[in-house]
Amino acid sequence: MPDAVPGRASCRASTARRPTAWLAAGAVACLVTLPAWGAAETSDDVQRIPDYRRAVAASQAAIGRPLVDIRLRDSTGKDVRPSDFRGRPLLVSLIYTGCFQACPVTTQFLAEAVREARRALGNDAFTVVSIGFNQPFDTPAAMAVFKRQNRIDEADWHFLSPDPTQVDALTANLGFVYEATPKGFDHVTQVTIVDAEGVIYRQVYGEKFDLPMLVQPLKELRSGQVSRELTLDNVWEKVVLYCTVYDPQTGGYRVNYSLFFEIFAGLTTLGAIAWFMLRELRRTKRV
């Protein structure tokens, strides 16, 4: 599989039940995602490679769309809608509970990324939702079990089930293409970043990804949100966001305090220049 095709996931279905149309019933066993194919590829796999390029194109085409406001149920059975999460950036991950390798790996890595992003941006900087697309099997009860099995205890992370009749509308809106095959499900693994107004802003691909691919778009959204509100607290938050940088040695984010000194030095220099020019202007007027 070429590296240009990001985040492919292929999930093998249990022999007890075969997937029908776009839905897979029963337990599934998930294969390793790309680029771990190589010599093991079959001729059928090679023939399907262009389909994944089209899947990524469909995913990218979703950027700029308003997130469809369909009815969902959380893991307790309570009705919610995507519009309930507006006001902060939203991360959307599509999974299905029958998968016991790719989806758990994706979710657990996302949990690590979420924790690091919140350390960098703040605990209330964004919301996360995982949505089960294999309906009617990804029920609220099944999503609750999936959450518990993967030890997800992050605040503001909701596990949701769409109405079976609205799955196609949701996946089409997010640009999420998936296909039932003799091996199970093939799809591009993605996390969709939605802005505070409910518009799709960025797609992040792969079971695992470099942390800046997730945090940088969130910083951009948070910074833009702060600049619109124009309060003293938000101006300070914007400065902190600007000074928060990725440290490749630790694999995390830290505040670069040297940037504070650079900003202070710059403001001091500008103030001194302004004071000097004002003094010279007053002296010229006296003469």
Which structure tokens are listed for 38? 């190589």
Distance from C-alpha of 235 to C-alpha of 231, rounded to nearest angstrom: 6
The secondary structure of 213-254 as a DSSP string is: HHHHHHHHHHHHHHHHH--HHHHHHHHHHHHEEEETTTTEEE
CATH number of 8-210: 3.40.30.10
**Helical ranges in 25-85 per DSSP H:** 43-61
Check residue 9 and give its pLDDT.
59
Q: What is the pLDDT along the chain (287 residues), one digit of tens a residue?
A: 343 445 555 554 433 333 333 233 333 333 333 333 333 444 444 344 447 788 889 999 999 999 999 999 999 999 999 999 999 999 999 998 988 788 899 999 999 999 999 988 889 999 999 999 999 999 999 999 999 999 999 999 999 999 999 999 999 999 999 887 666 667 788 999 999 999 999 999 988 988 989 998 998 898 776 455 545 454 444 555 455 554 566 666 555 555 545 556 666 787 778 777 777 777 776 65
Which residue is listed with tokens 């996390």? 191
Nearest CA-CA partner of 58 in 213, 188, 167: 188
